[in-house]
Copies of this chain bind each other. A is one copy, B any other.
Amino acid sequence: MLRQLATTIAVDTRGRGLVEITRALETWVGASGFATGLLTLFIRHTSASLVIQENAAPEVRGDLDRFLARLVPDGDTIFRHRDEGDDDMPAHVRSALTATQLAVPVADGKLALGTWQGVYLGEHRDHGGSRTLVVTLSGE
């Protein structure tokens, strides 16, 4: 019979960049006892987001960051909202252009990711901080 389980996962970040969370998710799914289903992640912030990216070549993450830094420059004069500094509004834009929510299928008790996929929390503020995800597993 279909069931649903939810929890909160905290991730500490140390500055702008992608932090892999695949293993933390795998551990929680493994402990849930669910064999199949859908794992839905939701990040409770607007200056950090969720991204599935290549997990093999580390320069992919660097390139994505360089691309976003050029696309949404810190301190851009079109931005009026700069309460928390030059990286404040660019963090909100990076968040809007990527994902606040993601769902990953679960099969055989594991995330059914492609071979080269990793799940990442994208920290978009310079200083980082403590980020919270709500994770919901629907399955059996």
B70, A78: Cβ atoms under 8 Å?
yes
User: Is A113 an interface residue when CB atoms closer than 8 A count as contact?
Assistant: yes
Asked, given contacts A46-B54, A46-B114, A103-B103, whether A2 binds B138 with beta carbons under 8 Å apart, the answer is yes
Task: Determine chain A's interface SS by DSSP, over half rule.
Answer: mixed
**Across the interface, do B89 and A63 meet the contact criterion of CB distance under 8 Å?**
yes
Tell me the count of chain A residues lying within 8 A, CB to CB, of chain B: 62
Q: Tell me which residues across on chain B come within 8 A of A4, comparing CB atoms.
A: 2, 36-38, 138-140
Q: Which residue of the partner chain B has the closest CB to A53?
A: B46
CB distance from A134 to the nearest CB of B (A): 4
| Interchain residue pairs with CB less than 8 A apart (9) | A4-B36, A38-B138, A53-B92, A57-B81, A59-B81, A67-B78, A99-B99, A99-B101, A100-B102
